[in-house]
Structures are given as structure tokens and as C-alpha cells.
Structure 1
Amino acid sequence: MIRWLIPMLAALAFIQPVSAQDRMPPAPYAYTQLDDPALEEQARELMHTLRCLKCQSQSIADSDAPMAGDMRHQVRTRIAAGESPDQVREWLISRYGDYVSYEPQVSATTWPLFVLPIVLLVLAGTVLMRRIGRRKGDDAVDDAA
């Protein structure tokens, strides 16, 4: 009995903090728009270009996840404080990494993602051209015989 009790208590100790996060009230600007329509438009445009880290396939503007609500709150708060959308994007990228943005930037860590598809296309084109050239050469030999 004691052998099973200790692992169960340990599991409950880890489950409780996770479930507590979902019971937290949403951040004030998570579901409330800014009073200035121009600032709200800037915030909404930015929110559509940022990925929800929990949902992964939705923008923070479309997601109902608590994390997306917190990110919407951060976007609106920072834009209301006078930061530009680019400054807010850079802050979120520095905090959560490049994955948070649907508009990736070329950097020291992401350049292979931009270069590799081009290299693969050139390589595939080269292989294809060699095979086509080889077939034409074989056809010319067959015609001569």
C-alpha cells in the first residue's frame, strides 16, 4: 500500500499547479479592445501574425487558449504604451523564440531554412538534367546503330 501511495502523492503534487493555471482569470486586455480604434487595429493586425504556442496552428487572435489571451493582453498593453508593432513582435520573439511569428526573419539560426529548399531544387534540377542528357545520348547511339 505504501509503495503505491508515494507515487500517487507525487503525481498529485505535479498535477495541481497545472490545473491551477486554467482557473486564473484572464488578463484584462485578453478579451477587451483598446479604446483607440487606430491602436486596436494595429494590435489586431499584429495578433494575426503571431502563433499561439499552445494551439500551434492558430494565431493568437483566433485562439481561445489562456496563453493566447495572455499574449493578446501583452500586445495590447505594449501598443497602448506607445510601442510599435515591430517592437512588440521583437519582444515576443526574444521571449518565446522565432516560432511565435508567422513571418519568420532570416537570422544566424534560421538562414538554413531559407537556403535549403533552393539548394534542394538546384540539386534536383541538376540530377534531372543529367538523366535527360544521358537518355538523349543513349537515343543518339541507338539511332546510329
Structure 2
Amino acid sequence: MLCAAAAAAFEPIEFRDAAEEARFRALSAELRCVMCQNQSLADSNAQIAGDLRAQVLELMREGKSDREIKDYLVARYGEFVLYNPPVKPSTWLLWFGPALIVLGGGIAVAVVVRRRATNAPATAPSEDNQEW
């Protein structure tokens, strides 16, 4: 049997108006579920995601701005909770790491191709000179 908090996490959220719902959906799409890691807060079915959605709605109703809500979650869970963390020295690897890997792979392929080209025979054997 689910506890009351877990059951509440999966209940549909009642919004005051369409503007509140639109803001909530946009904000929860920008935040990452801290448990699922590959899903946004809006898409996750994890219990903690439901708790965080409720927390986000509560902070919205307290009059907090989107920036203040994000700052609150970052203070608790780190910048990982943001789908688009700011570019700064601590996140350079996150932002530029994939490009460096692709660049390194391209360089490796170029080196291998050049080595094979220099080691290849100068002329291909003709059909007349083939030994069987």
C-alpha cells in the first residue's frame, strides 16, 4: 500500500489558471529528474519527481520567479538538475566534452588513413602478373 505522500505525488495537479499551468509546464520541462537523469521533471514518473513538481508549484504560488526556483533546486541538488546549466569552468567538460571527443575521433581517423596511404603499395598488381 502506498503512503499518503507517495499517492499525492501521482495525483493530477490542479492549476488556478491557464497561465499558471503554462508557466509550470515550461519550468518543469527545463528541470531534470534527479533520479531518472534522462527525463525532465515533467516526464518522469519517479516519486521524487512528483515531490519536486509539488515543490515547484508551491514555490510558484509563493511568488518566486523562475530564476529563484531554479536557484533553490540547484542549491539542493546541484547544477545537474538543470537541463541547460550555465557555461562556466565547472561545466566546461559538460558543454565542450562531446565536441572534444568528436574532434579527437576525427584526428584519429585522419592519422590512420594517412598511415595506410603511405604504407600502401605504389601500384596495384595487374591481372597478367598475378601468381596463382
TM-score relative to the length of structure 2: 0.69
1:142 and 2:122 are equivalent in the alignment: yes
RMSD: 2.8
Deviation for aligned residue 1:112: 1.3
Deviations 1:27-52 (A, max 9, x none): 7xx74333132122101111123233
CA pair 97-125 structure 1, distance change in 2 beyond 3 A: same
**Structure 1 residue aligned with 2:3:** 23
* % identical equivalent positions: 33
Query: Of 59, 74, 97, which aligns to 1:116?
Result: 97
In terms of fraction of residues, the more helix-rich structure is: 1
Q: Distance in 1 between matches of 2:37 and 2:104?
A: 32
List alignment gaps of at least 5 residues for structure 1. 1-18
Q: Distance in 1 between matches of 2:27 and 2:76?
A: 16
Deviations 1:57-115 (A, max 9, x none): 44332344432222112211222232222321221122111222233333332211222
CA pair 109-142 structure 1, distance change in 2 beyond 3 A: same
CA pair 130-32 structure 1, distance change in 2 beyond 3 A: closer
Which moves more between the two structures, 88-97 or 57-66?
57-66
Q: Distance in 2 between matches of 1:116 and 1:39?
A: 37
List alignment gaps of at least 5 residues for structure 2. 124-132
Shift >6 Å, 4+ stretches: none
SS in 2 for 1:106: coil
CA pair 54-120 structure 1, distance change in 2 beyond 3 A: closer
Q: Distance in 2 between matches of 1:94 and 1:85?
A: 14
The letter for the 2-side match of 1:130 is V
SS in 2 for 1:109: helix
1:89 and 2:94 are equivalent in the alignment: no
